[in-house]
């Protein structure tokens, strides 16, 4: 597929690699003795990924962004309250169109933390409050380790999910060991590792994308072995796309309106839009392996994968439009439609 066609379709190479991973897992799924090996390699790759994330996070950026507590409180509310409420409120519309596992996946993506890289990147392109975006996105990722399992326990509490507080705490502990501990070790190793990581950005990208691809392959291998595609009708997949577009559109409009009602500057509203509307694939996939162990993880993470690509495509358009605004534009005369038009 040519570069021009990829640009026209707004599809990047990583998205194509995700599709390839799903196809390979569908045709040649890991099974038998190969599955424990694949899971071990995946867990090691995820630990390395979060170690590198911790090494990249500057303490100065945390301090610079943390002072804007009103903005962060609104962003966290959008991430961990608004999204889950939408998932529950839309249940009468979505549940009849989806399989039970796919609807569970929609609720799961609603309770996930925000992305780090793309939220900051889009805020930068749109000329928003970058220090606040760094602090908010990074804090969301860390807090999500504790908040997401609790919300899963609250909203997806059935005989198969994390159904009691003891299991929820156990899931938090496992996720802490897998994600937070490597992240903390990476952050405190900054005096020795930040320079090397800064000079080798390609290493970060390789580990970032490689670990996600491994998780996708292992998750879909397990799901295919359990008959994922036989149990998932085409109509349900189309409904997931519609649900993802609907969720993102509602959140983009609401974050824009809330920012204006709160009296935030244009730069802060841009940060709110991009940090409050994102859901993390990098955090969501490994957490799903723990929270939904023994279930059809492939079907549960499918809505997250689809939502991830849609949010990148839509927010890329919004960021580009905002980034082209004149430097001298007065804050009180900016056009609100810039935040709404692409939706």
pLDDT tens, residue by residue, 256-297: 999 999 999 999 999 999 999 999 887 888 888 888 877 878
8 A C-beta contact, residue 2 and residue 11: no
- Most confident segment among 155-169, 269-283, 320-334: 269-283
The Cα 144–Cα 142 span in angstroms is: 5
Q: What is the pLDDT of residue 144?
A: 87
pLDDT tens, residue by residue, 16-25: 787 888 888 8
Q: What is the pLDDT of residue 125?
A: 80
Q: What is the pLDDT of residue 280?
A: 87
pLDDT category at 329 given cuts 50, 70, 90 is very low
For the chain, domain boundaries:
33-323
pLDDT category at 76 given cuts 50, 70, 90 is very high
Q: Which residue has the tokens 């991830």?
A: 308
The Cα 213–Cα 171 span in angstroms is: 23
Q: What is the mean pLDDT of residues 55-68?
A: 66
Q: State yes or no: pLDDT of 10 exceeds 80.
A: no
The Cα 322–Cα 319 span in angstroms is: 5
Q: State yes or no: pLDDT of 159 exceeds 50.
A: no
8 A C-beta contact, residue 252 and residue 321: no
Distance of alpha carbon 166 from its chain centroid, rounded? 26
Q: Ramachandran region of residue 10, left (φ > 0), alpha (ψ -120 to 50) or beta?
A: left
- What is the token pair recorded at 35? 């599955």
Contacts of 30 (CB under 8 A, 6+ apart): 38, 217, 218, 221
pLDDT category at 8 given cuts 50, 70, 90 is very low
Q: What is the pLDDT of residue 158?
A: 55
CATH topology of domain 33-323: Na+/H+ antiporter like fold (1.20.1530)
3-state secondary structure the chain: CCHHHHHHHCCCHHHHHHHHHHHHHHHCCCCCCHHHHHHHHHHHHHHHHHHHHHHHCCHHHHHHHHCCHHHHHHHHHHHHHHHHHHHHHCHHHHHHHCCHHHHHHHHHHHCCCCCCHHHHHHHHHCCCCHHHHHHHHHHHHHHHHHHHHHHHHHHCCCCCCCCCHHHHHHHHHHHHHHHHHHHHHHHHCHHHHHHHHHHCHHHHHHHHHHHHHHHHHHHHHHHHHCCHHHHCCHHHHHHHHHHHHHHHHHHHHHHHHHHHHCCCCHHHHHHHHHHHCCCCHHHHHHHHHHHCCCCCHHHHHHHHHHHHHHHHHHHHHHHHHHHCCCCCCCHHHCCCHHHHCCC
Of 10 and 89, more confident: 89
The Cα 303–Cα 294 span in angstroms is: 19
8 A C-beta contact, residue 146 and residue 167: no
The Cα 66–Cα 136 span in angstroms is: 8
Q: What is the mean pLDDT of residues 228-246?
A: 86
Of 158 and 141, more confident: 141
Q: What is the pLDDT of residue 142?
A: 81
The mean pLDDT of the chain is 79
- Most confident segment among 31-45, 96-110, 227-241, 283-297: 96-110
- What is the token pair recorded at 192? 């020795």
- Most confident segment among 112-121, 148-157, 245-254: 245-254
Q: What is the mean pLDDT of residues 195-216?
A: 73
pLDDT category at 308 given cuts 50, 70, 90 is confident
């Amino acid at each position: 597929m040519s570069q021009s066609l990829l640009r026209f379709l707004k599809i990047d190479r990583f998205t194509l690699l995700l599709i390839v991973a799903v196809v390979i897992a569908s045709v040649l799924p890991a099974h038998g003795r190969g599955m424990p090996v694949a899971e071990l390699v995946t867990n090691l790759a995820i630990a390395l990924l979060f170690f590198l994330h911790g090494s990249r996070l500057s303490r100065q950026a945390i301090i610079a962004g943390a002072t804007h507590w009103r903005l962060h409180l609104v962003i966290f509310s959008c991430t961990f309250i608004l999204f889950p409420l939408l998932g529950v409120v839309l249940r009468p519309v979505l549940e009849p169109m989806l399989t039970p596992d796919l609807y569970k996946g929609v609720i799961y993506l609603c309770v996930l933390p925000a992305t780090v890289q793309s939220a900051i990147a889009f805020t930068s392109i749109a000329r928003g409050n970058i220090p606040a975006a760094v602090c908010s996105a990074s804090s969301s990722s860390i807090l999500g380790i504790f908040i997401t399992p609790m919300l899963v326990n609250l909203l997806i509490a059935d005989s198969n999910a994390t159904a009691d507080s003891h299991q929820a705490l156990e899931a938090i502990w496992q996720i802490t060991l897998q994600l937070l501990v490597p992240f903390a070790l990476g952050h405190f190793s900054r005096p020795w590792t930040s320079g090397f990581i800064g000079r080798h950005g390609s290493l970060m990208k390789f580990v970032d994308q490689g670990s996600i691809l491994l998780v996708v392959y292992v998750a879909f291998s397990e799901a295919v072995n359990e008959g994922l595609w036989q149990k998932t009708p085409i109509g349900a997949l189309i409904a997931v796309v519609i649900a993802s577009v609907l969720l993102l559109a509602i959140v983009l409009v609401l974050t824009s309106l809330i920012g204006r009602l709160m009296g935030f500057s244009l730069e802060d509203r841009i940060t709110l839009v991009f940090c409050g509307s994102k859901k993390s694939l990098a955090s969501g996939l490994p957490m799903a392996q723990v929270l939904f162990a023994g279930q059809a993880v492939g079907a549960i993470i499918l809505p997250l994968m689809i939502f991830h690509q849609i949010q990148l495509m839509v927010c890329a358009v919004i960021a580009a439009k905002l980034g082209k605004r004149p430097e001298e534009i007065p804050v009180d005369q900016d056009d609100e439609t810039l935040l709404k038009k692409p939706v």
